[in-house]
Chain A
Amino acid sequence: MIKTHKFLIDQYVDGVDTVKLTDKRNYIECYGFDASKDKVIDLYINYIRLLNGMKSQWKSWGYLDFGLVPVVMAPSFIHTAIKETIVDRLGLLGIEFHLLPSMSFLTGDMNNVVGDTDVWVSREVISNVMEIPINQVTVEKFIRWCYSDESERYYQSSRN
Chain B
Amino acid sequence: MSLRDIIKVVETDGVFKLDDFRSSLCTDSEWKKFKSILLITEDHSSRFANTEDAMQFLDWCPAFKSIDQASFEDIFYCEKVGYRLEGVPAKLVFILSKALNLYPPNKALSLVDKRVFQKYSDGKNIKEGVCIRKVLSTICKYDVKLLCKDMPIVKNDNVFEVYMEEHDAVLVMPEKIGEKLYRNPDQVKLLSVDKEKGVMLLDVPLSTVLAGRAYIDVFDLRHVL
Contact = CB atoms under 8 A, between A and B. Distances in A.
B52 A67 contact: no
B216 A99 contact: yes
A100 interface: yes
B50 A68 contact: no
Interface of A: 56, 58-61, 63, 65-68, 80, 83-84, 87, 91, 98-101, 108, 110, 116-117, 122-124
Given A65-B52, A87-B213, A117-B217, 9 more contacts: A59-B51, A59-B52, A65-B94, A66-B99, A66-B111, A68-B113, A99-B217, A117-B216, A124-B113
Interface residues of B, number: 26
B95 A83 contact: no
Chain A's interface: helix, strand, loop or mixed, by majority? Answer: mixed
B98 interface: yes
User: Which 7 residue pairs spanning A and B have beta carbons closest together?
Assistant: A67-B113, A61-B52, A87-B214, A59-B50, A66-B112, A99-B217, A65-B95
B185 interface: no
B159 to A, nearest CB: 17
B102 interface: yes
Interface of B: 49-53, 56, 91, 94-95, 98-99, 101-102, 111-116, 195, 212-217
A66 B95 CA distance: 7
Contact of B114 (A98, A117, A124): A124
Given A66-B111, A66-B113, A61 B217 contact: no
B52 A66 contact: no
A68 B111 contact: yes
Contacts of B94: 65
A66 B117 CA distance: 10
A84 B214 contact: yes
